[in-house]
Structure 1
Amino acid sequence: MSVNIYDTANQLEQDLRNSEEFAELKRAFAAIKEDEEANGVYNEFRQVQQLIQQKQMMGEQVTEEEAKQAQTISEKINENEVISQLLEAEKRVGTMIDDINQTVLKPVRELYQ
């Protein structure tokens, strides 16, 4: 019997969409969009995060000012319950995806051991 791995991947996508972890993430993201203050802080956080990641990928140093900006926005994030809930939900979905990746890549890892 032949297995179509793409059918399995498509089923996995649907299972992810229907998971409680993803439902929590959607609810948390909707809450951010509904809260003007949280949405502004979250967008600022994403911009600072992207800037720092781009610099790191290019091998550039993060300036002291950028580090201070990241610290300030991090403090705002920690003070905002709506954003904290989103970050926790993102973490749970990310952990689930990491676990799935480990499972999917297991045959390849075993091959090279």
Structure 2
Amino acid sequence: MTLIWATRGKLWGFRFLMDGGFSDPLPEYDKAFSGVADQPEVCHRAGDRIALRFSDPEGRRDRAGRVIPHEFVVFRPMADEIQSVEDGRRLLWPLVRDAYGRDWDKPNSAT
């Protein structure tokens, strides 16, 4: 499974926590999220990938009080299973929930 995951924590800024095996995940991330507005929740198919954004399912916020978004770029074959934000949340959140829960409020995440 190839997966890019970007988010921020309570005390640390937006960063990639999973790079999908790319030395620089930013071009793949930009390609997937191109043309997607800053909506709080997004499920957008872009070729062989899905751009997925949803708010932290556990309601966590950063130190400024902003809702924490989780943004994923999901490639095939898992992308074929995702048709909605709900599908993505159901399939992806269990894969990252524990690691994020351990690190979200630390000063600097190395997840």
> Which TM-score applies when normalising by structure 2?
0.24
Query: TM-score normalised to the size of structure 1?
Result: 0.24
Higher Rg of the two aligned structures? 1
Larger strand proportion, structure 1 or 2?
2
Greater share of helix: 1
